[in-house]
Amino acid sequence: MSLRNRMRRPLVVGAAALTAIGLGAAPAMAHQCVNASKKNQAAGVQIVMDATFTPIWISNGLQQRIDKGVVDLATGEGFHGLLGIDLDGDGAVDVATYMVGRDGEIPQKAQWNGPTCKGIVNFETFMTECQTAPV
């Protein structure tokens, strides 16, 4: 299936579902994490969202789980994996965050251990402190 067709699929869900994702994902992002040392942030992502948290690409595997009702696109319930975010609108993943572990996050201790801008880093710290630092 072409990328263009896969990009159309999320639109079928409707504006209400996309708004719910945006409202639900934005607060959650502050406590998720990023692998600041990862060179290719797009590697392994299952969904890519733009800066407004509107899906712009969904992997075939995730789309199948959405179609089967395993993952609720409107709430994010059932999704565990890498979420890619395109911050500058060029269609490419600028940063990826993990939605894994208990309550959808890597434990806080793991997020705050180690160097500030290397390895697993809290998402908010990454966005505020690491964007100018080399990774």
Chain mean position to CA 86: 9
pTM of this prediction?
Answer: 0.66
Query: How many domains does the chain divide into?
Result: 1
Consecutive 10-residue averages of pLDDT for the chain (135 residues) = 46 36 42 81 94 93 95 86 91 85 61 76 82 53
What stretch of H or E contains 44?
none
At residue 34, the pLDDT reads 85
Q: Which two tokens stand for residue 83?
A: 């979420």
Domain with 19, as residue range(s), is: 3-130
Strand pairing class (47-50; 55-58): antiparallel
Torsion angle of alpha carbons 120, 126, 130, 135, nearest 10°? 30
pLDDT (0 to 100) of residue 93:
93
In a domain, 135, yes or no: no
Residue 38, in any domain of the structure: yes
User: Which secondary-structure segment (H or E) carries 24?
Assistant: helix 15-29
The per-residue pLDDT for 120 is 80
